[in-house]
Amino acid sequence: MADESDDVPVTGKVREKLVESKQAWAREGRLLTGQTYPLGGTATRERLPPGQTLVTDWPVLDLGVQPDVAPDRWRLRLEGLVQAPLRLTLDEFMALPQAELVNDIHCVTQWSRYDNRWQGVSARHLVELARPKEEARFVSFTSYDGYTTNVPLADFARDEVLLAHSWEGRPLTRQHGGPVRVVIPHLYFWKSPKWVTRIELLRDDRPGFWEVRGYHNYGDPWLEERYG
């Protein structure tokens, strides 16, 4: 059973310099190429979105705080405008139907990484279990490092969205968001929260950590929606 410790530790040690310089880049429009693929990536022969560079390693990006969430303390809540709020332990989460997906990652800082193989639980399955109320339109995520981000509910419920616990057959490492992170491959990777603990369904949109610091509210890499 889940306990009552639903407090999300507040980020006391965020690397302010890093946050400030990313915010300044957003203000200046750095990294923008001016090319876009208006028909979307799948309508073209392109696999690499505009302005991106392919990497084969896997960079680590976060606010400089990597929470160490003990598996028995981890909780996932799906709540807000739902008829059946979920509050899951890691064992309960791992007992749900499992999915495996392979997809490409596109980070707003211009690296892309192809063919990432994830194992986890389908976001749509979780949404169906929680039964959204009719007025639910947006999703707000909160993580154990205090990070937040937001997407439309329709985007979260897409086929290829996963709550991943493993990568390439091994448990997701702490630096990449273990025990569980969200993977939303059709948007820039800042929309994929690591160390996720709360998923809230909302009537109105609620911009997250980077969205209120100059990043685009939606973040389609094919339209180069880096900054908003």
Ligand X SMILES: Nc1nc2c(c(=O)[nH]1)N[C@H]1C(S)=C(S)[C@@H](COP(=O)(O)O)O[C@H]1N2
Q: Does 31 bind ligand X (CB under 6 A)?
A: no
Which amino acid type is present at position 210? W
Listed in sequence order, the residues at least 6 apart from 50 whose beta carbon sits closer than 8 Å to its beta carbon are 33, 35, 36, 37, 222, 224
Point out which span in 37-45, 49-57, 155-163, 185-193 binds ligand X (CB under 6 A): 185-193
Nearest CA among 183, 177, 181, 190 for reference residue 65? 177
By rule CB under 6 A, what string of x and - marks binding of each residue 186-215 to ligand X?
A: ---xx-xxxx--------------------
Distance CA 185, CA 173 (A): 19
**Rounded distance, CA 207 to CA 194, Å?**
17
Dihedral sign, CA of 9, 13, 18, 20? positive
What six digits make up the tokens of 192? Answer: 């994929």
Binding residues for Mo ion, total number by CB under 5 A: 4
Name which position in 107, 129, 202, 212 contacts Mo ion (CB under 5 A): 107
Binders of ligand X: how many residues, by CB under 6 A? 18
Q: What string marks each residue from 50 to 79 as x (binds ligand X by CB under 6 A) or -? A: --------xxxxxx----------------
d(CA 31, CA 22): 11
Q: Minimum distance from CB of 82 to ligand X (Å)?
A: 22
Q: Which does 192 bind (CB under 5 to 8 A by kind): Mo ion, ligand X, none?
A: ligand X
Q: Does 176 engage in binding with ligand X (CB under 6 A)? A: yes
Q: By the criterion CB under 6 A, which residues form the site for ligand X?
A: 58-63, 107, 143, 145, 147, 176-177, 189-190, 192-195
